[in-house]
């Protein structure tokens, strides 16, 4: 991707305009990471409280509870997840109040998707947990910023979803990662499809990162999940 990627980042989008929310969700999901969506303030507050997110995109004008109140309550509860608020066009007072209630950044509607991505990257770098420039497991190297993978000096082409699954395993190399944890990492909170989709991607990854190199680094731990080992 030209503008960088946010693979591995969990985003909560709180937006009542369902068409806009769907477009943003689909765009970010297409980059290979998970986006949860809430369509009103109360649901957004509950989801932000109950789930760990790397960044929250929060509209100001929401039904049931406005964005200012959601932001203020999260900060009062000690939740310091980076928050970007979506404000009205030329809404100077909206922008000021957003910052006063504890938001980290704001973006005026209508906004450019490219600018949204850039702002989200900046928030994650500034306020999210640290992410290494690359992750190395034996001679397998993942570059989250470039969405690239290689085994030794050989580049391996992965789809965004394959990379997200492998990224979830590589971040915890040597540990067993359950199927439900991989679903949360690579899909999203509301995914209600067949959980066996994880097995499909594990098989695809083995065909790409192991079999051509005579390796067996991606291990199935029956009844528990999967483990990525250095070989």
What pLDDT does residue 129 have?
43
What percentage of the chain exceeds 90 in pLDDT?
A: 45
pLDDT of residue 89: 55
DSSP character string of 191-221: --S-TTHHHHHHHHHIIIIIGGGT---EEEE
- How many residues in the chain? 231
pLDDT confidence of residue 135: 85
The CA-atom distances, in angstroms, between 116 and each of 8, 19, 90, 123 are 17, 16, 17, 11
**Number of neighbouring beta carbons within 10 Å of residue 24:** 21
Q: What is the pLDDT of residue 93?
A: 63
Task: Name the stretches of the chain with pLDDT < 50.
Answer: 1-4, 128-131
First to last CA, the chain: 29
pLDDT of residue 174: 93
The pLDDT score that the predictor gives to residue 131 is: 45
Q: Give me the pLDDT at residue 189, please.
A: 56
pTM of the complete model: 0.57
């Amino acid at each position: 991707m030209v503008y960088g990627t946010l693979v591995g980042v969990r985003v909560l989008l709180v937006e009542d305009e369902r068409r806009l929310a769907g477009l943003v969700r689909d765009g970010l999901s297409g980059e290979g990471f998970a986006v949860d969506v809430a369509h009103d303030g109360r649901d957004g507050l509950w989801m932000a409280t109950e789930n760990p997110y790397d960044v929250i995109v929060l509209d100001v004008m929401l039904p049931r509870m406005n964005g200012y109140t959601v932001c203020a309550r999260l900060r009062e509860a000690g939740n310091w997840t980076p928050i970007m608020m979506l404000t009205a066009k030329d809404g100077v007072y909206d922008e000021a109040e957003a910052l006063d209630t504890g938001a980290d950044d704001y973006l005026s509607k209508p906004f450019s998707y490219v600018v949204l991505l850039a702002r989200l990257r900046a928030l994650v770098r500034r306020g999210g947990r640290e992410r290494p420039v690359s992750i190395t497991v034996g001679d397998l190297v993942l570059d989250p910023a470039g969405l690239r993978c290689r085994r030794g000096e050989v580049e391996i082409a992965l789809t965004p979803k394959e990379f997200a699954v492998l990224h979830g395993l590589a971040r915890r190399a040597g540990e067993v990662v359950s199927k439900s944890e991989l679903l949360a990492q690579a899909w999203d909170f509301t995914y209600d499809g067949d959980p066996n989709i994880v097995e499909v991607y594990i098989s695809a990854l083995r065909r790409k990162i192991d079999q051509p190199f005579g390796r067996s680094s991606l291990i199935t731990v029956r009844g528990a999940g999967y483990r990525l080992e250095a070989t």
